């Protein structure tokens, strides 16, 4: 099938909104701008940049992304409340192409237990809120939350009213991840057939992954006539997450023979984008995750390796290069110069300011002094760590740990806290415990350690360790990541990265309360 015979499917990325709702995945402004820039460069059609009424930080992020984005439509989310819609309109008004995305629940369960409103009342809300949004911008998306548990007759009435009031996109989410592909496909077919003005809007899928069906359902929705897919990088999102952008894009690309649709996403940028999101959210990507997991192109068994050596189509349905995975390559050593390093960053897909390149170069030289061979993955992890921690209040300056069988484990740690150096010595039940106790002594806090995970960035005993840490505080989770050839230093960095996020949230809440 030729490309022109395929129907174009719009990719609506909601990593910065639904993805950020994932417990612990909070991002700061600088991180959101990085992600948005990459999404725009990779050809995503719509970037849902946040929920402007949720906080001043969210508003600022949406407004700044709206100002900077070159190609994509920038959307701001709004509940079916007048103040929300006005705030979303304000946030996207400087976008080249701005969208207000407003939603209201339509299912009997939500109407009865959450909204306590009748069907007629909700229909009036749909009309009024879409009309208000349409008076602010030309591009309005309306979502019927919990659409898949809404009786079809009522759903059709809501959709008709939304389109009449000016909605240009109609999104019918599987909010609780309950639908099956056949049901979801049939729902779109029915709504598009029965709603008289259905041809005036683009239909959209939005699927959650509670039963692991988000991607299958999204594709079924496209077969049912939807031409916009809402998804997130690495599938992050509420509960079990959203449909993964990389899986949707590659399923449509690889199986174009039976799925005659195309997207505008440059698939070669997928791996870079996945790593950036993992770095800024500190959410590790599961090893066997489709497309972007580190094992996605690894062949372990003898039979598979034998086949791959003879011809890689024996066991690979897409090339690693098609999603931006380069063959692990030895890149540089301690004699490599600044220009070669700058070139390398470009090849890896980074566009950094001169200051950021300089910072990364200093850290690269430090690493090269300690590690003989530096791989692409090493460079990516050091740059990503820097991007994620650019505005951290606390940093590790030095760590000395006494470990082994002879003596008790003792950590001597020096941190920079708000520009001042502080040192402490602590012991613990093992070297990691001693290190974390030292952090607690210097930065007392109530958060509880929920997860501690280590993996090696590359092969070899001198490989960098990448540590993930999850802290729980006041019912919220904060995740942190750190990388270093020394596992204990990586552990301290990861713990501090989570703690810095906790502090940053406290400051944001404080600032909002003061306002």
Chain residues binding Zn ion by CB under 5 A are 18
DSSP annotation of 327 reads P
Which of 132, 143, 218, 464 is in the footprint of ligand KIV by CB under 6 A? 143
Q: Is the CB of 18 or the CB of 31 nearer to ligand KIV?
A: 18
- Other residues' Cβ atoms within 10 Å of the Cβ of residue 474: 9
Mask: binding to ligand KIV, 233-272, rule CB under 6 A, as x and -?
----------------------------------------
Per DSSP, what are the bridge partners of residue 469? 452, 480
Q: How many residues does the chain have?
A: 515
C-alpha span between 4 and 261 (Å, rounded): 10
For 431, the token pair is 């070297």
Quick check: 58 binds ligand KIV (CB under 6 A)?
A: no
The entry of ligand KIV, Zn ion, none near residue 64 (CB within 5 to 8 angstroms by kind) is none
* Cβ closest to ligand KIV, residue 145 vs residue 269: 145
Task: Say whether residue 173 binds ligand KIV (CB under 6 A).
Answer: yes
Nearer to ligand KIV (CB atom), residue 208 or residue 501: 208
- Measured from the CB of residue 171, what is the shortest distance to Zn ion in angstroms? 9
Residue (of 484, 486, 478, 454) closest to 467 by Cα position: 454
Main-chain dihedrals φ then ψ at residue 84, nearest 5 degrees: -60, -45
361/355 Cα distance (integer angstroms): 10
Counting runs of H as helices and runs of E as strands, what totals does the chain give? 16, 18
Report the residue number, 87 or 344, with the smaller CB distance to ligand KIV.
Answer: 87
97 vs 321: CA distance, rounded Å: 32
Q: How far apart are CA 499 and CA 511, in angstroms?
A: 18
Span near ligand KIV by CB under 6 A; candidates 114-122, 171-179, 390-398, 486-494: 171-179
89 vs 284, beta carbon nearer ligand KIV: 89
Helix, strand, or coil (residue 177): coil
d(CA 11, CA 270): 13
- Residue 409 DSSP one-character state: E
User: Residue of minimal CB distance from Zn ion?
Assistant: 18
457 binds, options ligand KIV, Zn ion, none, Cβ within 5 to 8 A by partner type: none
To Zn ion, the closest distance from the beta carbon of 24 in angstroms equals 17
Name which of 245 and 463 has its Cβ closer to ligand KIV.
245
Please choose which of ligand KIV, Zn ion, none residue 145 contacts, taking the beta carbon within 5 to 8 angstroms, the exact cut-off set by kind: ligand KIV
- Interface with ligand KIV (CB under 6 A), residue total 9
Binding-site string for ligand KIV from residue 185 to residue 224, where x marks contact by CB under 6 A and - marks none:
---------------------x-x----------------
- For ligand KIV, the closer of residues 230 and 377 by Cβ is 230
What does 143 interact with, of Zn ion, ligand KIV, none (CB < 5 to 8 A by kind)?
ligand KIV
Residue 193 CB, nearest approach to ligand KIV (Å): 23
Which DSSP category does 111 fall into? I
**Per-position b or e across 252-266, b if 16+ CB within 10 A of its CB:** bbeebeebebbbebe
What's the CA gap between 62 and 89, in Å, rounded? 10
Report how far apart the first and last C-alpha atoms of the chain are (Å, whole number): 58
Query: Closer to ligand KIV at the Cβ: 14 or 437?
Result: 14
Is residue 18 a contact point for ligand KIV (CB under 6 A)? yes
Whole-angstrom distance, CA of residue 515 vs CA of residue 513: 5
Stretch that binds ligand KIV, among 168-176, 254-262, 350-358, 487-495 (CB under 6 A): 168-176
424: exposed, middle or buried (Cβ count in 10 Å: 0-12, 13-18, 19+): middle
CA distance 304 to 156: 50
Nearer to ligand KIV, 206 or 272 (CB): 206
Binding string, residues 84-113; x marks residues near ligand KIV by CB under 6 A: -------------------x----------
Which residues have a Cβ under 8 Å from the Cβ of 475 and sit 6 or more positions away? none
User: What does DSSP say about strands 409-417 and 420-428: parallel, antiparallel, or unpaired?
Assistant: antiparallel
The CB-of-478 to Zn ion minimum distance in angstroms stands at 22
- Between 48 and 385, CB nearer to ligand KIV: 48
Cβ of residue 173: shortest distance to ligand KIV, in angstroms? 4
Chain residues binding ligand KIV by CB under 6 A are 18, 103, 143, 145, 171, 173, 175, 206, 208
């Amino acid at each position: 099938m030729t490309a022109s015979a395929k129907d174009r499917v719009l990719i609506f990325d909601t990593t910065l909104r639904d993805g950020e709702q994932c417990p612990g995945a909070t991002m700061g402004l600088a991180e959101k701008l990085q992600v948005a820039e990459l999404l725009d460069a990779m050809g995503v059609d719509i970037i849902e940049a946040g929920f402007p009424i949720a906080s001043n930080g969210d508003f600022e992020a949406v407004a700044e992304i709206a100002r900077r984005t070159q190609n994509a439509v920038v959307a701001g989310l709004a509940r079916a409340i007048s103040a929300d819609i006005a705030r979303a309109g304000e946030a996207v008004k400087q976008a080249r192409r701005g969208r207000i995305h407003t939603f209201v629940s339509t299912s009997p369960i939500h109407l009865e237990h959450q909204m306590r409103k009748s069907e007629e009342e909700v229909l009036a809300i749909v009309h009024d809120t879409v009309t208000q949004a349409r008076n602010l911008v030309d591009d309005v998306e309306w979502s019927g939350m919990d659409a898949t548990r809404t009786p079809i007759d009522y759903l059709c009435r809501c959709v008709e009213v939304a389109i009449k009031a000016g909605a240009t996109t109609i999104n019918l989410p599987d909010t609780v991840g309950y639908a099956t592909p056949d049901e979801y496909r049939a729902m779109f077919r029915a709504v598009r057939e029965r709603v008289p003005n259905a041809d005036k809007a683009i239909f959209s899928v939005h699927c959650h992954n509670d039963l692991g069906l988000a991607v299958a359902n999204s594709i079924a929705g496209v077969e049912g006539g939807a031409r916009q897919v809402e998804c997130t990088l690495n599938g992050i999102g509420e509960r079990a997450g959203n449909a993964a952008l990389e899986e949707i894009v590659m399923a449509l690309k690889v199986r174009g023979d039976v799925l005659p649709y195309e997207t505008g996403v440059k698939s070669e940028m997928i791996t870079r984008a996945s790593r950036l999101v993992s770095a800024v959210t500190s959410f590790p990507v599961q090893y066997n995750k489709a497309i972007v997991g580190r094992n996605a192109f690894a062949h372990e068994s003898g039979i598979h390796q034998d086949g791959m050596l003879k011809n890689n189509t024996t066991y690979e349905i897409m090339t690693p290069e098609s999603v931006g995975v380069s063959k692990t390559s030895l890149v540089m050593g301690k004699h490599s110069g600044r220009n070669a390093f700058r070139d390398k960053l470009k090849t890896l897909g980074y566009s950094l300011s001169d200051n950021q390149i300089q910072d990364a170069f200093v850290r690269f030289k430090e690493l090269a002094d300690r590690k003989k061979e530096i791989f692409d993955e090493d460079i990516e992890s050091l740059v990503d760590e820097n991007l994620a921690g650019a505005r951290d209040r606390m940093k590790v300056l030095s760590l000395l740990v006494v470990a082994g069988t002879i003596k008790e484990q003792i950590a001597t740690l020096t941190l920079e806290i708000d520009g001042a150096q502080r040192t402490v010595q602590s012991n613990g039940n093992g070297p990691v415990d001693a290190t974390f106790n030292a952090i607690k002594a210097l930065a007392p806090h109530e958060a509880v350690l929920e997860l501690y995970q280590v993996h090696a960035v590359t092969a070899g005993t001198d490989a960098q360790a990448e540590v993930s840490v999850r802290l729980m505080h006041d019912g919220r989770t904060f995740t942190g990541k750190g990388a270093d050839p020394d596992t204990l230093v990586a552990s301290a960095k990861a713990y501090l990265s989570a703690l810095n996020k906790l502090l940053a949230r406290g400051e944001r809440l404080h600032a909002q309360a003061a306002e």
